[in-house]
Amino acid sequence: MNSDAAGFSRKSLLPGSESITTAYEFSKTPAADERLNTAIERTRDFLLQRQHAEGYWVAELEGDTILESEYILLLAFVGQGQTPRAKEAAAYMLAQQCDHGGWAQFPNGPIEISGSVKAYLALKIIGHDLQSPEMVRAKEAILNAGGVEKVNSFTRYYLAMLGLIAYDLCPAVPPEFMLLPSWAPFNIYEMSAWSRTIIVPLSLLWAYRPVTKLSPEHGIEELYATPAKQLPRQIHGVNHEGELQGFIDWTKFFQRVDVAIKWGEGAGIKPLRGRAVKLAEKWILERLDGSDGLGAIFPPIIWTIIGLKCLGYADDNSVIVQQFAELEKLVIREHERVRLQPCLSPVWDTTIALIALRDAGVSQDNPAIRRGVDWLLSKECRRKGDWANYRPETEPGGWYFEFNNEFYPDVDDTAMALIALSKCLPDGFDYPGAIEWKIGDTGSPQATIVGKAANALAAMSGFERAEPIVAAMRRGVGWLKAMQSRDGGWGAFDADNTREVFTKVPFADHNAMIDPSTADITARVLESLAYCGIQPHGPWLDRAMNFVWNDQQPDFAWFGRWGVNYLYGTWQVIQGFTKFGVSADDPRLQRGADWIISKQQAMGGWGETPASYDDPSLRGQGEPTASQTAWALLGLIAAGRADQPATRRGVEFLLSTQRPDGGWDEPQFTGTGFPRVFYLRYHYYRIYFPLMALARYRDAIGAI
């Protein structure tokens, strides 16, 4: 498990050594091509040189311009809409305007109407010239796309809080849902974790309906495409997550509920409002403890500030001050412009960096690896969060995505952390051989040191260091196993978060109301369990594997929920299943590998556009990128195809496009937030995934 990659030998980097590159000597074997070795060295050093002193890695996490526009709208709400900071954010946003005149969810994407309306409004607020070519083009693009009438529910709330529409044109989000117990079918814990962190503070806006009136010249009447200049009362947003079958039209049902709520409130029927508001406030404040803002992500932080101000929190209140400070951590200022990140990704970046560096042969005794492991261990989640509502007996464990987000560890980060830690155990510590796993009837795992190995372990020089790693891994495995859903798969934050009826509520048009199991996460969980020595047997495993097999598409690819898109899903299933013991010769996996090869482009690389979420016929098609090429290569290598021409051509693509500093150019968005709604550019995806692919390729061809 901890042996060096084939094709070179390693010298340990001594503490205090100032040279990293001199710590390696590459063998001059046919398998260790000089260009390949040089490329690996460059990228390895790129990462090692960018590790923070505390031990972590973190790169920019880039989203689209709704981050800047919503930030400006928040500043306008608190009376700072024309400050230098607002104008700096507007300058960045203006630079992202697309050729079609509007703003898109990803580079070269089609106009996104809600983001474009918010961008136009934000530019008006900061005083941008309405007669400028940029504003004229934006107005025309918005009108051609259907006008402000087409904006989504959350955009309506921004318009309402700035006095541009009435709150009754927003979908009702009454705080009374806080009173529903966890066994009730429509309680907040049946929503996805990221949705509930938005909906709870948003309910305070609905309850208090705050308004900061803009100057008349900041109105957006010119953006209405219809003569009535009025938003439709019912929102016909896109509910993407599945079609409900049955006798009830749930969309119409919830529209009628929305009308009934508004009628009742208009009649003054709100007997439990005060109690519900207090519960919402308490819920929010509890989850600020140990977190970089509510959910540690941009939208809930914005709504928390506004929601708490509804309750009378002053600008100098410590909670409000801290939430603005959390927003400030997301700000990047460059060239008189300001852009924001949706959140920070240190745990995710650190785990994958550690995996890639170990694949590249960096010793687990290297100080950089040791610092990374120690930092990662410090971020283990040791308190119960929202997930415990349905898994109350489970011991806390696992990892979250950000620096601090203790209420919301997630399955994907936990799986990746377990892989990283298993690769960083001390030399000679045979984890599967030293730990005995017992999976009970409930699927709950227990790990104990095998008796006959205990004395040998105690004598190992690395045992003292291995102990805390193994303890964290035990807790992580236990938490992961407990988060398996009834369908056999794993979602991101919660188990059995699959109540599709929630996708039909009027404010569900952000395509994220539920957190169902997905093949990519499920396969990564199995991969991580294999690294921890879990043996491939048991009913829980059969359910997991059947879930993934059943999700294979007719063309033999797998959908990727958390990366763009079918290239991501197909790679992860092949890699996860083969690591867990499924033969690489399994026809289903081989057909998946055939699909990957069929999508290789003429120059040797692979790419896929986020538009494949809207149009599945585009799956596997798009500008080639370093990260997606790496995913394709990793899938082919796992499928036993390292020596095939397609793999060699893919490696050549990476070698020929690598920059002198060891990185690759990749302006494309290859990460997924919410399919069809929000995409991401992880700035280290172009670094550690290619490093991982090149290192594993070298290892594989050295073994042939």
Query: HSE (CB half, 13 Å, CA atoms) of 270?
Result: 18
Write the CB contacts of 704 (distance below 8 Å, at least 6 apart in sequence).
Answer: 31, 642, 643
Write the CB contacts of 111 (distance below 8 Å, at least 6 apart in sequence).
Answer: 98, 100, 101, 102, 103, 104, 141, 142, 145
Six-digit token string for 218: 């900041």
Six-digit token string for 679: 């995409």
Six-digit token string for 76: 């306008």
Backbone angles phi, psi at 321, to 5 degrees: -60, -40
Provide the 8-state DSSP code for 490. Answer: B
Q: Annotated active-site positions, please?
A: 412
Cα dist from 675 to 482, 492, 508, 610, 672, whole Å: 26, 14, 13, 8, 6
Burial label for 479, CB within 10 Å (0-12, 13-18, 19+), is buried
How many helices (H) and strands (E) in the chain? Answer: 24, 9
- Secondary structure (H, E, C), 332-368: EEECCEEEECCCCCHHHHHHHHHHHHHHCCCCCCCHH
Six-digit token string for 146: 């259907």
Provide the 8-state DSSP code for 5. Answer: P
CB 490 within 8 A of CB 517: yes
Backbone angles phi, psi at 158, to 5 degrees: -65, -45
d(CA 415, CA 409): 11
Alpha helices in 363-426 (DSSP H): 367-378, 411-423
d(CA 75, CA 566): 39
Backbone angles phi, psi at 450, to 5 degrees: -60, 130
Write the CB contacts of 245 (distance below 8 Å, at least 6 apart in sequence).
Answer: none
Nearest Cα to 153, choosing from 299, 364, 35, 267?
A: 299
Write the Ramachandran bin of 475: left for phi over 0, alpha for psi from -120 to 50, otherwise beta: alpha
Write the CB contacts of 616 (distance below 8 Å, at least 6 apart in sequence).
Answer: none
d(CA 176, CA 274): 9
Alpha helices in 209-333 (DSSP H): 250-266, 273-288, 298-310, 318-329
* Axis-axis angle for helices 298-310, 66-77 (nearest 10): 10
Specify the residue for token string 């896929």.
608
Query: HSE (CB half, 13 Å, CA atoms) of 63?
Result: 23
Write the CB contacts of 124 (distance below 8 Å, at least 6 apart in sequence).
Answer: 130, 135, 217, 218, 220
Six-digit token string for 21: 């590159």
Q: Which helix (H) or strand (E) holds 435?
A: strand 435-439
